């Protein structure tokens, strides 16, 4: 019996038969008590002898009727220790149906087969209260046992909650239940004057956050502040952080709205404030119906599945119920974490992780024959600008030739859609990485134009994503952790930024609405000065820019731009169904000409000492490319001859 109570209080899985027996006994007892109380009150606790006999006769059908209604509203399919408003609504609905049946018996058949009208009304009220109360007791027991088993051995830290909205209220409720987290909510601080001096879950709303500057944190003996304002504008978050820093109070925040919406992250899983919380980007709403039509029940392939974008693509695609999710990644070290994450999320039945290089023709052909993908998201790429500037042959091989081979396989095996992940650096490129991505865009546009009735080829451009491997944020963090200096290339350099989940969500949206041959450009918001980004990261780490942590300017590196662009002159843009996505179209180059340009590059790959020549060939293939060329040697007549040739004419 003790073990049974332990299982019930913890809410762990019970076999169907044991759970059914438990709920039958619980609901039958509660229903009988409610009916008995209704009878006693109806007759002022002096039930006549005839009515007493009819009471027992009615119990024979009334209790099974209530159990049947509760079963109809799925109250036998719940975990005993979990109960909330939705559960109470379902119990009330079930009892309302049962009372309606009793009222019908009373109206059409009459006594002695149905109870009096007053008994029916009282029975409905008592049934909801008693059955709901019994379920609530099971929840209280579960939470009490959880709290006792996870109680922190240390004194709890006293916490101020910034924001008394839904997120803050849910956070306080969770912290009061989960005492093992070692956090004790002491006070709310909120911008809404209507909430001041009110109490929520017995926690006072003291006033606005600015009160913390009046030594309120010392009076309350606060150890920590949690910012529970996931929908607040970034400007207000920055103001609150400045208040907390001046009050010498450490701070954290709740997960973002998109993380909370998935249900996989709880509001009590507080985290440090990140730079994306301060960038001021509005939450992106997606038309999930169109995305579900694209992905649900389909065979989806993602290349570069272990990378920052590829792995997030896999996470989001898995939530739409694909028939197969094929993960292509040449690094098994990167493939393993996303495979394990998806398996832990219950997706192992349809996830197929495959170690493969997109340049391995025989391997990729075998994969296409065996997996028969319907949609391909191509995220595999070399993306680091300075490294690719020194090794253009590898950038051409992976970014251009790899994309070309993959696209041709998609056309050959009748893949429905091919979505190429491009970059804003492909616009008027000054880097090898950007030029190879632009050449890949040109190829898939030409391929679609040559065969418009088959695979729908499209590309999606976006800028920097926060937190991706090799991006500026992790680099700055490591430099701050080392005590500085933080190295910025130029005080005026700017970049567009968005979060990885936001970028991937818009990629899926673009893929669902593409008609083929387009280049989609995501709304990146306003450009951000890298210097401001560095200052904010230093401040979030608890230091002062140029005082505790120095900032050094190193100068632009080869291939880098001062400002990123959104389009080039030959492209026309139109709006799409989604306000955050623009569609760019341009007259594609004939497919045979693009093939010749790419072939001229392919023959020069891995030629010793021909790095600069490869850049010139890349410029001939992508006329808008402005390469960084080191001064050529005077005896290098090959380069001199090549440089003197017109760049508009494609090489044979």
Lowest mean pLDDT among 417-421, 547-551, 590-594, 642-646: 642-646
Q: Give dist(CA 588, CA 207) in Å, integer.
A: 61
**Which H or E run contains 30?**
helix 16-42
pLDDT > 80? residue 255: no
Q: Give dist(CA 132, CA 34) in Å, integer.
A: 12
Q: What average pLDDT does the structure give for the chain?
A: 81
Lowest mean pLDDT among 72-76, 276-280, 391-395, 510-514: 276-280
pLDDT of residue 149: 57
Sequence-separated (6 or more) residues with CB below 8 Å from residue 346: none
pLDDT of residue 151: 56
Secondary structure string (H, E, C) spanning 493-505: CEECEEEHHHHHH
pLDDT > 50? residue 138: yes
- Which long-range CB contacts under 8 A does 246-249 form with residues at least 24 apart? 246/213, 247/212, 247/213, 247/217, 248/217, 249/160, 249/212, 249/217, 249/222, 249/224, 249/225
- 369 or 6, which is more confident: 369
Residue of 609, 417, 387 lying closest to 509 (CA atoms): 417
Q: Using an 8 Å Cβ cutoff, are 408 and 440 in contact? A: no
Of how many residues is the chain composed?
A: 652
Share of the chain above pLDDT 70, in %: 83
Distance of CA 402 to the CA centre of its chain: 28
Question: CATH says 288-468+496-523+565-585 is which class?
Answer: alpha beta
Lowest mean pLDDT among 91-100, 535-544, 560-569, 635-644: 635-644
pLDDT > 70? residue 642: no
Within the chain, all domains assigned CATH 3.40.50.720 are found at 157-273, 288-468+496-523+565-585
- The phi and psi torsions of 577 (rounded to 5 degrees) equal -65, -20
Q: Give dist(CA 631, CA 628) in Å, integer.
A: 10
pLDDT > 70? residue 180: no
pLDDT > 70? residue 245: yes
pLDDT of residue 498: 78
pLDDT > 50? residue 547: yes
Lowest mean pLDDT among 27-31, 93-97, 398-402, 637-641: 637-641
Residue ranges in 209-307 assigned as alpha helix (H)? 216-219, 234-246, 257-262, 288-295
Q: How confident is the model at residue 104 (pLDDT cuts 50, 70, 90)?
A: confident
Average pLDDT, integer, range 116-133: 88
Q: How confident is the model at residue 650 (pLDDT cuts 50, 70, 90)?
A: very low
- Per-residue pLDDT tens over the stretch 456-503: 999 998 877 776 666 777 788 888 888 889 899 888 888 777 788 888
pLDDT of residue 258: 52
pLDDT of residue 276: 65
Q: Using an 8 Å Cβ cutoff, are 536 and 275 in contact? A: yes
Lowest mean pLDDT among 130-134, 326-330, 508-512, 610-614: 610-614
Lowest mean pLDDT among 139-143, 405-409, 511-515: 139-143
Q: Give dist(CA 307, CA 468) in Å, integer.
A: 8
| Maximum average pLDDT range among 74-88, 230-244, 463-477, 586-600 | 586-600
| CATH numeric code, 157-273 | 3.40.50.720
Average pLDDT, integer, range 152-161: 74
- 629 or 171, which is more confident: 171
Residue of 530, 520, 518, 603 lying closest to 564 (CA atoms): 530
Share of the chain above pLDDT 90, in %: 25
- Per-residue pLDDT tens over the stretch 256-306: 555 544 444 454 566 666 666 666 556 566 778 889 999 999 999 999 999
pLDDT of residue 78: 78
pLDDT > 70? residue 447: yes
**Helices and strands: H and E segment counts in the chain:** 23, 21
- Per-residue pLDDT tens over the stretch 212-225: 888 776 778 888 88
Beta-strand relationship, 299-303 and 251-253: unpaired
pLDDT of residue 111: 55
| Maximum average pLDDT range among 45-49, 344-348, 395-399, 531-535 | 395-399
| Maximum average pLDDT range among 136-140, 338-342, 561-565 | 338-342
pLDDT of residue 99: 87
Sequence-separated (6 or more) residues with CB below 8 Å from residue 347: 318, 325
Burial of 599 (0-12, 13-18, 19+ CB in 10 A): middle
Lowest mean pLDDT among 93-97, 426-430, 571-575, 603-607: 571-575
pLDDT of residue 5: 52
- The phi and psi torsions of 401 (rounded to 5 degrees) equal -65, -40
Q: Is the peptide bond before 362 cis (omega within 30 degrees of 0)?
A: no
Q: Using an 8 Å Cβ cutoff, are 51 and 44 in contact? A: no
Average pLDDT, integer, range 223-239: 83
pLDDT > 70? residue 197: yes
pLDDT of residue 492: 87
């Amino acid at each position: 019996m003790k073990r049974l109570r332990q299982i019930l209080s913890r809410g762990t899985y019970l076999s169907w038969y044991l759970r059914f027996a438990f709920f039958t006994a619980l609901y039958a007892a509660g229903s009988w008590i409610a009916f008995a109380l209704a009878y006693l009150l109806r007759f002022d606790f002096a039930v006549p002898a005839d009515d007493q006999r009819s009471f027992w006769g009615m119990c024979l059908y009334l209790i099974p009727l209530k159990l049947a209604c509760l079963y109809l509203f799925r109250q036998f399919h719940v975990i005993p220790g979990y109960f909330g408003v939705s559960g109470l609504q379902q119990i009330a609905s079930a009892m309302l149906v049962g009372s309606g049946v009793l009222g019908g018996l009373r109206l059409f058949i009459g006594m002695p087969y149905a109870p009096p009208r007053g008994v029916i009304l009282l029975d409905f009220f008592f049934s909801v209260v008693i059955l709901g109360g019994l379920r609530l007791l099971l929840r209280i027991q579960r939470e009490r046992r959880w709290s006792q088993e996870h109680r922190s051995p240390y004194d709890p830290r006293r916490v101020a909650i910034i924001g008394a909205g839904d997120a803050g209220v849910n956070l306080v409720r969770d912290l009061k239940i989960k005492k093992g987290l070692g956090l004790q909510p002491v006070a709310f601080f909120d911008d809404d004057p209507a909430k001041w001096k009110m109490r929520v879950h017995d926690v006072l709303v003291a006033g606005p956050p600015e009160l913390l500057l009046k030594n309120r944190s010392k009076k309350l003996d606060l150890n920590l502040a949690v910012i529970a304002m996931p929908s607040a504008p970034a400007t207000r978050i920055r103001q609150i952080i400045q208040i907390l820093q001046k009050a010498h109070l450490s701070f954290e925040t709740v997960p973002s709205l998109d993380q909370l919406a998935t249900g996989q992250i709880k509001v009590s899983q507080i985290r440090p404030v990140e730079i994306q919380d301060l960038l001021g980007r509005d939450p992106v709403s997606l038309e999930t119906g169109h995305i579900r039509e694209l992905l649900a029940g389909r065979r989806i392939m993602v290349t570069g599945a272990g990378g920052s974008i590829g792995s997030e693509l896999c996470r989001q695609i898995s939530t739409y119920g694909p028939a197969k999710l094929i993960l292509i990644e040449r690094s098994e070290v990167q493939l393993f974490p996303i495979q394990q994450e998806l398996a832990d999320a219950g997706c192992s039945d349809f996830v197929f992780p495959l170690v493969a290089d997109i340049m391995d023709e025989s391997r990729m052909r075998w994969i296409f024959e065996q997996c028969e993908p319907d949609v391909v998201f191509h995220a595999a790429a070399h993306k680091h600008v300075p490294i690719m500037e020194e090794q253009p042959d590898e950038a051409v091989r992976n970014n251009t030739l790899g994309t070309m081979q993959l696209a041709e396989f998609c056309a050959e095996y009748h893949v429905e859609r091919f979505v190429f992940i491009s970059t804003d650096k492909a616009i008027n490129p000054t880097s090898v990485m950007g030029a190879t991505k632009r050449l890949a865009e040109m190829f898939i546009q030409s391929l679609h134009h040559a065969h418009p009735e088959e695979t729908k080829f499209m590309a999606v451009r976006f800028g920097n994503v926060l937190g991706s491997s090799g991006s500026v944020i992790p680099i700055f963090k490591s430099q701050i952790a080392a005590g500085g200096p933080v190295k910025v290339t130029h005080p005026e350099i700017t970049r567009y930024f968005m979060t990885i989940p936001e970028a991937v969500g818009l990629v899926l949206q673009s893929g669902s609405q593409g008609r083929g041959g387009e280049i989609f450009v995501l709304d990146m918001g306003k450009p951000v000065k890298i210097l401001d980004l560095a200052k904010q990261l230093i401040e979030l780490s608890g230091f002062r820019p140029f005082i505790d942590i120095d900032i050094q300017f190193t100068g632009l590196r080869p291939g880098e731009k001062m400002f990123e662009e959104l389009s080039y002159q030959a492209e026309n843009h139109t709006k799409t169904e989604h306000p955050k996505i623009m569609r760019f179209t341009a007259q594609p180059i004939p497919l045979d000409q693009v093939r010749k340009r790419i072939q001229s590059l392919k023959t020069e790959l891995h030629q010793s000492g021909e790095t600069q020549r490869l850049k010139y060939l890349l410029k001939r293939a992508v006329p808008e490319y402005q390469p960084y060329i080191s001064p050529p040697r005077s005896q290098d007549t090959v380069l001199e001859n090549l440089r003197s040739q017109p760049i508009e004419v494609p090489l044979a």
